Amino acid sequence: MSLIEIRGLSKSFGKNVVLDNVDLDINEGEVVAIIGPSGTGKSTLLRSLNLLEKPEAGTVTIDGKTFDLTTKVSKEKLELRKQTEMVFQQFNLFKNRTALENVMEGLTVVKKEKKEEAKKQALFELERVGMGDRLGHYPRHLSGGQQQRVAIARALALKPKLLLMDEPTSALDPELVGEVLLTIKKIAKEGFTILLVTHEMDFVKSVANRIIFLENGKVVANGSPREIFDNPTSDRLKSFLRNINMLQSADDYSI
């Protein structure tokens, strides 16, 4: 049995079917990357898992506990949201709180931890992402890359069973992408289970255990980086890889 089991996840916006009965399993400690063309439902998939979107159907089982993604019971929603944490493209740090306070916030408010305890934990997480020397800095004092690292610390502090990352580097200036990718690589090595959307294909190749190719709301391909990049079987995947210049195999005629 996998740590995370998503079953029958469907979501439409009006007539636009964005996710069509998606099933997905994620094992403990796995880094699963979702790739696919723009507008294909990658963000919607992540956002549905912590109910920032309201799916029409679907369940997710996390560590043996099954949650109905269509639930209207706020207690169940909060319970589910505590299992996962999201790292956003735009960082979304609380701008009126310092780096330290941002990381402590969930610990004191949601987990009801004592201040000293929360502070200890927050310091540990900020050290882990290399931000231990910017505790009193507000988001406005930090570069995009530093903000994203604080946001990662904020998510890690809540000890999520699954970390959701939606294009964590695509709002960054090119020279700041590296530090964030390094941080993600580090926490992946430390054993966190991560579901990641990104356009950084080289990064995906080096850090993901498994890659999901999502197109038109369906999982079209699901395999190891090798299977996806070196031996793609699906024509749609091939044409996607060709479009982003990631197909190097012999059957690439499009030069």
Round to whole Å and give the CA distance between 223 and 205. 12
Specify the amino acid at residue 255. Answer: I
Stretch that binds ligand ATP, among 10-18, 100-108, 121-129, 142-150 (CB under 6 A): 10-18
Rg (CA), the chain: 19
- Per the CB < 8 A criterion, the answer to whether 139 and 151 are in contact is no
**109: helix, coil or strand?**
helix
**172: helix, coil or strand?**
coil
The distance of closest approach from Cβ of residue 123 to ligand ATP in the complex, given in angstroms and rounded to an integer, is 34
- Per the CB < 8 A criterion, the answer to whether 20 and 217 are in contact is yes
Does residue 107 interact with ligand ATP by CB under 6 A?
no
141 binds, among other proteins, Mg ion, ligand ATP, none (CB under 5 to 8 A by kind): other proteins
Considering only residues 23, 27, 28, 39, which one is a binding residue for ligand ATP as defined by CB under 6 A? 39
The distance of closest approach from Cβ of residue 41 to ligand ATP in the complex, given in angstroms and rounded to an integer, is 4
The distance of closest approach from Cβ of residue 14 to ligand ATP in the complex, given in angstroms and rounded to an integer, is 7
Task: List Cα–Cα distances, 91 to 30, 49, 50, in angstroms.
Answer: 23, 18, 16
Does residue 15 interact with ligand ATP by CB under 6 A?
no
- Nearest residue (CB) to ligand ATP, 44 versus 193: 44
Round to whole Å and give the CA distance between 203 and 44. 22
- Nearest residue (CB) to other proteins, 183 versus 229: 183
Phi, psi of 218 (to 5 degrees): -125, 150
Round to whole Å and give the CA distance between 163 and 161. 7
Round to whole Å and give the CA distance between 34 and 19. 13
Considering only residues 28, 39, 54, 95, which one is a binding residue for other proteins as defined by CB under 8 A? 95
**DSSP symbol at 123:** H
Considering only residues 6, 18, 22, 181, which one is a binding residue for ligand ATP as defined by CB under 6 A? 18
Closest to 163 in 3D by CA, of 54, 28, 255: 28
Considering only residues 13, 63, 178, 231, which one is a binding residue for ligand ATP as defined by CB under 6 A? 13
Stretch that binds ligand ATP, among 31-39, 62-70, 77-85, 240-248 (CB under 6 A): 31-39
Site for other proteins in 69-88 (CB under 8 A): 74, 78, 81-82, 84-86, 88
Round to whole Å and give the CA distance between 68 and 76. 8
Interface with ligand ATP by CB under 6 A: which residues? 13, 16, 18, 36, 38-44
Interface with other proteins by CB under 8 A: which residues? 50, 52, 74, 78, 81-82, 84-86, 88, 90-96, 105-106, 109-110, 130, 133-138, 140-141, 151, 154, 158, 179, 182
